[in-house]
Structure 1
């Protein structure tokens, strides 16, 4: 009996040795096939629809007026909203000297002065004085909010245009028309870009003290005078004609990579 069992075990061992790893692989494949078959049966028997008393919500269709209101409130450029118009000109003692618009964001800033004549740059939303804020910036004016009431303030147009005639105009005592300079302050030179004047280059004169006290720095280039961009060599004469004792000017200068507003106060002398 023992010999018979040993013989059978030996025969099975020799048979497995002859077959190699194939029986093991066959067993693994059979197990995987059984698993996949079980999953397939589960998928077939599992219901695809909702379980229980399920009812889909009805589609809500907005009325044309509601859709118009919805899309009117959407701003793809993320601005604060369209500027509101103000038909009332403000009675406050404010003077507007310069405007910077940002059409991409709908914001901007403005250079304003109060009764004291001190010019300050304000951004949209900033408070100008108690109860008064800058609401929006337009092409030639700004809109301020005065206790919730919108009022307009236009650019200062009090500086007269340069007179052209047969007689030579009388130059201010502080100017020298023989050379492009403001005596003791700065020399003026046009900056050309492809044959077009795009700015006025400033260089300090003397020890540079008056140049610095006027708010300038070495290398500044004036690109705007009282809100008007520099576009020709005649703007140098226009700048010189506006410089007089006690004059206050609002200019924008390129200072490196930035554009900076400068309030120029030449004083009484």
Structure 2
């Protein structure tokens, strides 16, 4: 569905409260985490999920539509854009010795936001320019690290890779989805939650706001969970359980309502025709 006025920071929300805390950060960039929220709505975000950067900024596009924003922001992709860094600049930034753990990032061309654990405190979201702890300011957000400023010196904090996987690398998927008819799939929710814990999950598709409403599926990795769920490049996701997807308000309403839903119906526009995908 979408996160307008913010892009969920790339780390992984283990409870509904933590999802809402991150989504409510006022400075997060506009983006669309449609497919993830389609799945997460009816599992109530009990899985762990992370938005990761694509291995390459070049992405095959379907449909030819330009990226648009929902709340006045342009050019923000689902998985963000890593801030470019020159080799010399990278070498000059020493690793920080602060008790700080980087658990996720939402990078964009200018600035970005990050989820950070500081001194063992609860995970919190910060955006470029904000104070992470007394005397420590978040400077830049990149694909696998953040740069902080402490006492005038720049220091790097690198992404914690608890899963030990590399972004953009496909992994064998368990049999989560079983077709039970035309456009109808049976989803094993327990295994789905396990799959959501893989850092590769959200890197397996690219979904962006569509100028004419809904969200355009631009890329789907072959063999991915998204493909097994029936999504194809060029699909435009219009509604979920009859409710249109146009804003962050739609996302949060669905998020709150889908905790006990036994079935999810996703209406898509496919090659000029309307189709409905059913998930039980």
Range into which the TM-score falls when normalised by the shorter chain:
0.3 to 0.5
